Amino acid sequence: MIKLGYARVSTGEQNLDLQLDALKKEGCKNVFTDKVSGVKSGKPSFEKLMEYVRPGDTIVIWKLDRLGRSTVKLIELMELLKQKGINLKSLSESIDTGTATGNLFFQFMCVLAEHERNVISERTKAGLESARARGRSGGRPKGLSQRYLKISAEVKE
């Protein structure tokens, strides 16, 4: 069981020093770093970390938002780590899924994420029903818009 660090900043101008110092102090054997926005799905060093990490290992991060901005994506990642037997430790939030309390917090986050998805679904359904009740059908209009009908006519000439 080893500790592997992951540090990320959003732009090349930003500095990793704070995160790297904290990960070193925590005793991480290796540290993987990315300089890419949290919104982007491609994080090359994180992907290498995921290939390198083994069951029983712990991935250590400075803060949860270093893994991504979306709560749902973060929960999905944490579930993947759990399935692979990999622990996650966030230094800023004092989360460690290798402990009973940390695992409880993880499960609580999963419940909240599921609730969030359910609320969004209910709102969407209610909004669609409300629109239908007012005679709106939604979706894209059938056929070409006036602008494209004119362009189409010009092309045919």
Pairing of strands 87-90, 95-96: antiparallel
Strands (E), 10-156: 30-35, 58-61, 87-90, 95-96
Query: Which residue among 10, 37, 45, 70 is the active-site one?
Result: 10
State how far the Cα of 53 lies from the Cα of 49, in Å rounded to an integer: 6
Amino acid at 156: K
Q: Is 145 labeled as catalytic in the residue annotation?
A: no
Length of the chain: 157
Which residues participate in catalysis according to the annotation? 10
